[in-house]
Amino acid sequence: MAVYPTDIQVTLDLDIHPLSLGRSTPDPRSPPILHSTVSRSHFQVEWCPRTNTHIGKDLSSRNGSKLNGRPIGTAGWYRLRNHDVLRIGDVIFVYETHQTFEIRDSSVVSREALPGNAQCIRQLRTRVAHAAADISPILIIGETGTGKEQLASEIHRLSGRSGPFVAVNCATFGKQLIESQLFGHLRGAFTGASTDQPGLFRAAHQGTLFLDEIGEMPLELQPRLLRAIQEGEIRPLGSAETTKVNTRIIAATHKNLPQAVKQSEFRQDLYGRLALWQLHLPAIRHRRVDILFWIRRLHERWMAARSLIGPQISWTPDAAQRLLLAPWTENLRGIDRLVHTLATEQGIPPAYLSSIDDTHIDEAYPPRDRSSPTTDEAGEPHLVPPPHQSSTAGSVRFDAESQTNCPPWDINDLPCWIDEVPG
């Protein structure tokens, strides 16, 4: 899918048949890419059954091609991998692996709550629609900053439950306080309990209780949570009687709970109960198709929150490429911070933050210390044999840097807000 410039509306559905990309290729299956930096026949994509991947090569174009920021020249064929960033001239595509089944997007899930056109997001919207209609607990799995609470709120809206949506972060309370917060307490149950408190389970009666960072819940409290989910009843601190509740649970975590179960840090029975529905919310670097959209969206929010009116934000080709290749370990929070920093610290009046180029990025975030090298998750482009040539020993995979004379692209040149990709 073409992601830059935004006026290039081209989506290519690749299969096993060769496809030529260009401004006016002779291939009737390829829509023209109408941009002055794109040659008539610029780039060729074919399916390689030996590597079971699509591969591509530059067709001696005038402005060349880049894969994950590195010029690839015309030396040979290069393997395309999921989330790779392909630049032909100044038009940038994000390659997503072809699915063996048709992706059915859901029309009932709000595009405000779960926006994006990445394949993984379209699949997730369909799964969210199914899970929301059920009464079972849901476990949302995703890195910090991916929007788990917003997704939980949308699930509650779709469920049609009459009660409220109540959210709590399990990592923000100690053992006694989280127990009191969830199940309530009677006056005098502990020091400082001067009044009765109903607790969040009862506050969310007939609605949804969202338990963020469920992996941080103390192990000794997990049996009580399990009973509340299974039996639909709670017992407030200081009380000998149980109270019936009808509360749906949505939990979220960035942790590997199966691993925590193996290490006796999380109960197997509670995990099994929470994970009847598992929804994986991808990291931003795994939905590169949507990165530039998210920057524009958060910039619009930043402007609206300050009652500012200005032009829509745009990027130079090099800046767009760098933004797409960033690991974004802070996910949406990192994008939000980039927008805020550029708008407030660079001497650019917020109403006129309409274009981002490399100079803006470098001024906002100086390059990281080169003494600690990192590697971009997309990895190096690698040469492969032509699709119809028999592979010979040592010829299947070559390092692109040794095959071209272009200077190496180093992720250390990215600004310091880009952190290392977790191993």
CA distances from 49 to 79, 83, 164, 381 (A): 12, 20, 53, 18
Shared-domain flag, residues 351 and 313: yes
Which range, of 70-74, 184-188, 225-229, 259-263, averages the lowest pLDDT? Answer: 184-188
Has residue 381 been placed in a domain? no
Sheet of 277-280: strand order equals 165-169, 208-212, 248-253, 138-141, 277-280
Has residue 406 been placed in a domain? no
pLDDT: is 378 or 52 the higher one?
52
Has residue 405 been placed in a domain? no
**Rounded Cα distance, 137 and 131, in Å:** 9
Shared-domain flag, residues 194 and 275: yes
Please provide the DSSP assignment of 154-190 as one string. Answer: HHHHHHT-SS-EEEEEGGGS-HHHHHHHHH-B-TTSS
Of 335, 364, 393, the position where a domain reaches its end is 364
| pLDDT at res. 409 | 25
| pLDDT at res. 98 | 62
pLDDT digits (tens, 9 = 90+) for 102-134: 667 888 999 999 999 999 999 999 999 999 999
Has residue 24 been placed in a domain? no
Which range, of 53-57, 200-204, 254-258, 396-400, averages the lowest pLDDT? Answer: 396-400
Shared-domain flag, residues 274 and 143: yes
Shared-domain flag, residues 133 and 241: yes
In a 3-state reduction of DSSP, which class is residue 295? helix
Shared-domain flag, residues 204 and 131: yes
**Rounded Cα distance, 356 and 69, in Å:** 18
The whole domain housing 315 covers 287-364
| pLDDT at res. 398 | 25
Shared-domain flag, residues 146 and 271: yes
Q: What is the mean pLDDT of residues 366-371?
A: 40
**Rounded Cα distance, 331 and 298, in Å:** 12
Has residue 16 been placed in a domain? no
| pLDDT at res. 106 | 85
Q: How many helices (H) and strands (E) does the chain have?
A: 12, 20
Shared-domain flag, residues 321 and 261: no
pLDDT digits (tens, 9 = 90+) for 9-39: 888 888 889 999 999 887 788 889 999 999 9
Has residue 153 been placed in a domain? yes
Has residue 251 been placed in a domain? yes
HSE, CB side, 13 Å, CA atoms: give it for residue 68.
24
Shared-domain flag, residues 291 and 327: yes
Has residue 179 been placed in a domain? yes
Shared-domain flag, residues 131 and 267: yes
Check which CATH number belongs to the domain holding 251 and give it.
3.40.50.300
Query: Phi-psi category of 189—alpha, beta or left, where left has phi over 0 and alpha has psi -120 to 50?
Result: alpha
**Rounded Cα distance, 409 and 297, in Å:** 29
**Rounded Cα distance, 411 and 423, in Å:** 16
Task: Please give the share of the chain, as a percent, with pLDDT higher than 90.
Answer: 54
- Split at pLDDT 50, 70, 90, the class of 2 is very high
HSE, CB side, 13 Å, CA atoms: give it for residue 141.
12
pLDDT above 80: residue 377: no
Check which CATH number belongs to the domain holding 346 and give it.
1.10.8.60
Shared-domain flag, residues 331 and 354: yes
**Rounded Cα distance, 137 and 115, in Å:** 23
Which range, of 140-144, 205-209, 373-377, 381-385, averages the lowest pLDDT? Answer: 373-377
Using only C-alpha atoms, what is the Rg of the chain? 25
- Split at pLDDT 50, 70, 90, the class of 363 is low
Kindly report the number of other CB atoms within 10 A of residue 284's CB atom.
25
pLDDT above 90: residue 232: yes
Of 327, 347, 364, the position where a domain reaches its end is 364
Give the CA angle between residues 406, 407, 409 to the nearest 5°: 115
| pLDDT at res. 314 | 79
pLDDT above 50: residue 405: no
Shared-domain flag, residues 213 and 156: yes
| pLDDT at res. 85 | 96
The one-letter amino acid code at 240 reads A
Of 246-255, 381-390, 406-415, where does the model show the most confidence?
Answer: 246-255
Shared-domain flag, residues 251 and 182: yes
Of 281, 307, 331, the position where a domain reaches its end is 281
| pLDDT at res. 160 | 95
